[in-house]
Amino acid sequence: MKKLFKMVAALTALCFLGIFQTAQAKDLTGELEIFSWWAGDEGPALEALIDVYKKEHPGVEVINATVTGGSGVNAKAVLKTRMLGGNPPDSFQVHAGQELIGTWVMADRMEDLTPLFEEQGWMSVFPEGLIKLIGTDKGIWSVPVNIHRSNVMWYIPSKLKEFGIEAPKTWDDFLKVAPMLKEKGIVPLALAQNWTANHLWESVALASLGAKKWDALWSGELAFDSPEGVAVWELFGKVLEYTNDDASSLSWQQATDMVVDGRAAFNVMGDWAAGYLSTTKGLAPGTGFGWEASPGTGGEFMFLADSFGLPKGVKNLDNAKAWLVTLGSKEGSDAFNPLKGSISARTDSDLSKYNDYAKSAAADFAKDTIVGSLAHGVTANEGFMNDFASVMEMFLKSKNAQMTAKAAQQIAVKNGIAK
Amino acid sequence: MREVSRDRIKAFLTLLPSIVLIGIFVYGFIGNTIWISLTDWGGVAALAEHPVKHFIGIQNYVDLFTGFLEGRFRQDMVNAVFYSVSLLAGAVGLGMFIAILLDRKPKGEDFLRTVFLYPMSLSFIVSGTIWRWMLAPQGGVNILPTYAGFKPLTFKWLSAKTTVLAFNWQNLLQIGLYLVAVITIIIGFIVYRNSRSKSVKWLAIGALSGLTAWIGGDMLPKALILEEIHGFNLATLGIIMATIWQYSGYTMALYLAGFNGISQDLHDAAMLDGASTSAYYTHIAIPMLKPITISAVIILSHISLKMFDLIFSMTGPDNAETGHPALNMYLTTFRANEFARGASIAIVLFLLAATFIIPYLITQYKQRRTR
Amino acid sequence: MKSKVNIKTVSYYATLGILVIFFLMPAYMAVVTALKQPGDITLPTSWDLPATLNWASFSEAFAMLRPNLVNSFILTICATAGSTILGSLNGYVFSKWKFKGSEIIFTLFLFGMFIPYQVILIPLFQTLRAMNLYGGLPGLILAHIVYGLPITSLIFRNFYAQIPDSLIESARLDGAGFFSVYLKLVFPLSIPGFVVTSLWQFTQIWNEFLWAITLTRHSENPITVGLANLAGGQAVSWNLPMAGSIMAALPVLCIYIFLGRYFIRGLLAGSVKE
């Protein structure tokens, strides 16, 4: 009975307010269920965001439904089961780009947010390239809350001095110093379990192809088994020779630990590593630990972003829209990102609230060429990403660049990326 | 007489709710999954509100066993077989061994029993996390020898790339025939004691299939176009060890209960007859506990074929060396959105698991006939 | 002669000692890690004792897991009770009131054990939602009762098979009906069976994760989900999940410690003779 009443109430509210007219802030009551995979160290960032929302809408009870574990796969399983069962959360976290579009937009399960973007003036505060990546020709589908950089190489300056080397600017530089490190018994490049191999691959591929051809790969103009595509795998194979052979049993934190302890020289990881190094390991950005764009990708910013979308048929539509407004606002974004260790997607964020690493990342984000990440859902749909994991396994096992490139092309065709 | 029939109705009515529940939740769902596995539900728009599904027959199953891109599933199947067999052998063996030790009533028996039983109480998420630490190549078990002044071990428990007992999936038919030959010949020898004619029949089948495989050789149809090598990945050893650690306590409890149940008189009589301790166990106690062994095999086999949480928390989602069909099914369904393909993996897994129950059903059937 | 016995005894206890160490190693690792400061936790030093004891991990983890613990207790107790009672009645029918086709039904029941949980996630969700049971504990309890039935029915059937049929016959000659035979004769005899099945079911349900996370709303999440949240996220301080793991394991552990003896007796009574 209560449910029925709520539904009737929601329906009436819908009729009165029209779909995209934002309700008066004070009027909002009821619940808001937000679905994410943020817990542990990222929990506080989300809590800060929820606090901002609660201040604006004290009448709404926020249900923070977090599903973690299993590299986000558990969250996907729960979300998909709920969506198929016709019980969507009011708003859910999803990687911006094809992970959202390929799965949810293609299935016609999301509301178009273009009116909201226009109403809030977001068309001019979010970078144009970013809006293109989170939208299709039919609309804009999610509100980005943060930007992470994927192509970063981490090191400890004092250890590099000990080893007598400098951070390499290109993979050729790296391949020159790596044998020397290996002889000393130091792992040149620390690698962790398999998704980090995908992560490293995209940095290597970007270096090998350059931003234009990287984009061409995903628009289907460049084949995965073209000579350039094969060259990526060949370079990746060479780099892999200088990684630790126990990689697949380490978490990314344990790989980062190797760099901190001096057991390894470098580590390519997304910039959430900055948070781990400064908060958990207590190192100062710049002096305690250092970073560069991963070799050969200077001037390119490979991004990934978390975003929240609005599923069709949610129970608390107005509350959900108010949530999206909070997410996209300057206040919400500057409350969330300093804690999450990411930078704001907005171009007008208050940089004084951010740490040194984030400041440098924000400066790069403003001037660099922006490309999307594969490993974190920007450039390819989930079908491709799942199959790519098998292709990566194939390569790690066989080290055969030609065959792997062919397999990659096959899965690209199967998943509608290549023609 | 009337009373009896009324009681029979009562008995049936008592059972009815369970029958209905099992009917819906087990057979209804299996039927649903079989139906999905015969469609093409997946890919783009798989998650639409009313997804479009076309009937495509057994195409999904054909792809699983012969498709170029599904090599991972085949490796997972091979892993699952090796994993199940090792777990059964390991947990039954170790459990029995500990039970024999405890059967001698050592000091502190209560404490010891608890120590061996406690891993069973842990959640796989817990034990998986702890074992991942234990088996980390640069820590855990591998560095234990350094505390005694030795060199650390270098075995990569969860990431070894070595494969033993490798075979080419192309020759699946040939290998299958050899397996049939070996099994039927063994059965033939076992049956020999009871009935010679039956034994001859089994042996004949064995010899025939063995010969076909041997002579047929390259002429037999190939399962795949390309060569594809699968085998027992040593990386699975770590997971096998963790599972044995968790479940041998259970088999220990089963056998301990069994040993306690064998009357002391029988034990004393055997000893008086001059049987050694080992002879007592191998010839008297363990054969008497065949029902226990069978129930342990059923329980452990269904656990090993459903194994998911432990592998997931120990080696993560994309580690082909330690992959398992249950994990593959989860990823195929919920990450790649290939719902039909996932359903077909599920059905293969279910059928595989159900075969483990057959020995139990056979013994049941035999017992009823002898009664 | 005497020294020979001693060597035997020594090697006997040495074997036991090695086994005990093997079984306790993971527990040691968990406790030691839980007591360390987050920054001190690294692989090469994972066996070392903590430099300073960090008891805060436990209070912190407990504060985060308390609501989950309550949910888990409600869930596990209800589902265990439901599935063992139903299983016991089923076992009674399957062993003492066989009718035409009862063996086939029993076999069909058994196959229910072999369903991997993740396989039926989607239909289960849809069914429970249609029954208006999604989100709360009752739906999850129902699911655990249903999928517990195969194993509880199996154990009780085997358990009751050793109660002589003649005993039942004579009770019925005295005029006892279907239920009074069960209540007066069979039930009192089956306490050890209840111990075994409850312990098994309690462990399974307490530790189940996938359904728990899919079928319950956030406020109703059981302990395994809370634990996964402790260990999730991109950067984890391992002392918290380890402390949480220890706490999550404690209730079941206590049952094993206190009921372990009865568990073995129950197994003895239940499954020796088919």
Flag if C30 and B130 touch (Cβ within 8 Å): yes
- State percent of chain C over pLDDT 70: 93
Angle in degrees, CA C57, C58, C59, rounded to 5: 100
Q: Which residue of A has its CA nearest to C241?
A: A40
> Is A13's pLDDT higher than 70?
no
Catalogue all structural domains in chain A, each as residue range(s) with its CATH number.
Answer: 2-148+305-370 (3.40.190.10), 149-303+373-414 (3.40.190.10)
Mean pLDDT of the B331-352 span: 88
Q: Tens digit of pLDDT for each residue in B315-341?
A: 777 777 788 888 888 888 888 888 999
Q: What percent of chain A has pLDDT over 90?
A: 57
CB–CB of A39 and C232 under 8 A?
yes
- In this predicted structure, what is the pLDDT of residue A294? 94
- Specify which residues B168 forms β-bridges with: B229
In whole angstroms, give the CA distance from residue A267 to residue A203: 12
Mean pLDDT of B178-186: 80
DSSP class per residue in A31-80: EEEEEE---GGGHHHHHHHHHHHHHH-TTEEEEEEE---GGGHHHHHHHH
Tell me which residues of chain A have a C-beta less than 8 Å from any C-beta of chain C. Answer: 33, 37-43, 63-69, 74, 77-78, 81-82, 84-87, 251-254, 257, 261, 272, 275-276, 279-282
Question: By the CB < 8 Å criterion, does B13 face chain A?
Answer: no
All domains in chain C, ordered by first residue: 57-271 (1.10.3720.10)
User: In this predicted structure, what is the pLDDT of residue C30?
Assistant: 87
Would you say residue A22 has pLDDT above 50? no
CA–centroid distance for C75 within its chain? 12
CB pair distance less than 8 Å for A38 and C233: yes
Contact A351, A362 (CB under 8 A): yes
pLDDT at B90 > cutoff 80: yes
Which chain B residues have a beta carbon less than 8 Å from that of A250?
136-137
Which pLDDT score is estimated for A349? Answer: 87
Mutate to test the interface with C, among B35, B39, B96, B118 (most CBs of C within 10 A): B118
**What is the spatial distance between Cα C66 and Cα C86, in angstroms, rounded to a whole number?**
30
Question: In the block, which residue shows the tokens 């959900």?
Answer: A320
Of B47, B161, B318, the CB nearest to A194: B318
pLDDT for the residue numbered B268: 80
Q: Which of A109, A245, A249 sits opposite B135 (nearest CB)?
A: A249
Among residues A356, C146, A380, A383, the alpha carbon closest in space to that of B21 is found at: C146
Which residues are paired to A60 by β-bridges? A30
Distances (CA, A) of C178 to B15, C56, C92: 13, 57, 10
Mean pLDDT of chain B: 82
Searching chain C, which residue's CA lies closest to the CA of residue B288? C272
Using an 8 Å Cβ cutoff, are A275 and A341 in contact?
A: yes
Q: What is the mean pLDDT of residues A147-151?
A: 94
Q: Kindly report the number of other CB atoms within 10 A of residue A329's CB atom.
A: 19
Q: With bands split at pLDDT 50, 70 and 90, how would you rate the model's confidence at A262?
A: very high
What per-residue confidence (pLDDT) applies to C53?
A: 83
Give the gap in angstroms from C-alpha B19 to the nearest C-alpha of chain A: 26
Q: How far is CA A159 from CA A276, A295, A302, B147, C130, in A?
A: 18, 19, 27, 27, 61
How far apart are alpha carbons B185 and B210 in whole angstroms? Answer: 10
Nearest to A373 by CA among A294, A252, A270: A270
Q: DSSP for C120-165?
A: GHHHHHHHHHHTT-TBSHHHHHHHHHHHHHHHHHHHHHHHHHTS-H
Q: Is the model's pLDDT at C4 over the cut of 60?
A: no
- What is the rounded average pLDDT for all residues in chain A? 88
pLDDT surpasses 70 at C2: no
First to last CA, chain A: 52
Tell me the mean pLDDT in the region B47-51. Answer: 82
With residue A152 as reference, give the H or E element that holds it. strand A152-155
Q: Given an 8 Å threshold on Cβ–Cβ distance, is B161 in contact with A397?
A: yes
- B225: pLDDT confidence band, cut at 50, 70 and 90? low
Token pair in block for residue B322: 């330690």
Residue B22: pLDDT over 80: yes
B245 touches chain C (CB under 8 A): yes
For residue B44, give the nearest of A76, A410, A416 by CB distance.
Answer: A416
Count of CB atoms situated within 10 Å of the CB of B348: 20
- CA B130 to chain centroid, in Å, comes to 23
Mean pLDDT of chain C: 84
Nearest CB neighbour to C126, from listed A67, A85, A276: A85
The three-point CA angle B99-B100-B103 to 5° equals 80
Distances (CA, A) of A88 to A170, A283, A297, C181: 46, 42, 40, 50
CB contact under 8 A, B123 and C43: no
pLDDT of C41 reads 77
Question: Is the confidence at residue B351, as pLDDT, over 50?
Answer: yes
What tokens appear for B346 in the block?
A: 């599920």
Please give the helix or strand (H or E) that residue B80 lies within, else none: helix B71-103
φ/ψ (deg, to 5) at A246: -100, 20
- pLDDT-derived band at A87 (thresholds 50, 70, 90) equals confident
Q: Does B335 contact chain A (CB < 8 Å)? A: yes
CB-based contact B106:C12 (threshold 8 Å) = yes
Q: What is the pLDDT of residue B217?
A: 66
- Report which secondary-structure segment, H or E, holds A92: strand A91-95
CB contacts of A77 in chain C (<8 Å) are 118, 121, 210, 214
C-alpha A152 chain-centroid distance? 13
Residue with more model confidence, A331 or B156: A331
Contact across the interface for B159 and A247, Cβ inside 8 Å? yes
A387 CB neighbours in chain B (<8 A) are 69, 336
Judge whether C240 and C60 are in contact, CB under 8 Å.
yes
Per-residue pLDDT tens over the stretch C37-49? 877 777 777 788 8
Average pLDDT over residues A24-30: 69
Q: Do B136 and C249 count as a contact with CB atoms less than 8 A apart?
A: no
| Cα-to-chain-centroid distance, residue B150 | 37
Instruction: Calculate the alpha carbon distances from A28 to A41, A88, B62, C29 in Å.
Output: 30, 20, 54, 50
Neighbouring chains of A at 3+ CB pairs under 8 Å are B, C
A-contacting residues in C 181-220 (Cβ below 8 Å): 210, 213-214, 217-219
Nearest by CB to A249, from B136, B336, B337: name it.
B136
- Name the band, by pLDDT with cuts 50, 70 and 90, for residue C162: confident
Round to whole Å and give the CA distance between B113 and B103. 11
Does any CB of chain C come closer than 8 Å to the CB of residue B204?
Answer: no
CB–CB contact A253 C235 (8 Å): yes
Q: E-strand spans in A236-365? A: 264-268, 290-293, 300-304, 306-309
Nearest to A393 among B125, B318, B336 (CB): B318
CA separation, residue B267 to residues B98, B280, B285, B289 (Å): 19, 8, 9, 14
Span A158-189, pLDDT tens digits: 999 999 999 999 999 999 999 999 999 999 99
Strands (E), chain B: 163-168, 229-233
Query: In the structure, what pLDDT confidence band is assigned to residue C1 with cuts at 50, 70 and 90?
Result: very low
List the structure tokens of B8.
Answer: 């029979």
Q: Is the model's pLDDT at B4 over the cut of 70?
A: no
CB contact under 8 A, B106 and C150: no
Q: Quickly count: other Cβ atoms within 10 Å of residue C243's Cβ.
A: 27
pLDDT band at A329; cut points 50, 70, 90: very high
Asked whether A238 and A172 are in contact (CB, 8 A), the reply is no
d(CA B63, CA B76): 15
Contacts of C231 in chain B (CB under 8 A): 125, 129
CA–CA separation, B34 and C64 (whole Å): 41
Q: Residue A17 above 70 pLDDT?
A: no
The torsion angle over the Cα atoms of residues A137, A141, A143 and A145, rounded to 10 degrees, is: -100
The pLDDT value recorded for residue A237 is: 95
- pLDDT band of A118, cuts 50, 70, 90: very high
Closest by Cβ to A393, choosing from B72, B235, B337: B72
Percentage of chain A beyond pLDDT 70 is: 93
Measure CB to CB from residue B329 to each of C99, C119, C274 and give the nearest one: C119
- Tell which of A101, A105, A187, A390 to mutate to test the B interface (max B CBs under 10 Å): A390
For the cut 90, the answer to whether the pLDDT of residue B146 exceeds it is no
Percent of chain C with pLDDT over 90: 19
- Per CB-CB distance under 8 Å, the chain B contacts of C204 are none
Q: Is C230 close to A74, i.e. CB distance below 8 A?
A: no
Distance CA A197, CA A244 (A): 12
Tell me how far apart the alpha carbons of residues B95 and B251 are, in angstroms, rounded to a whole number.
5
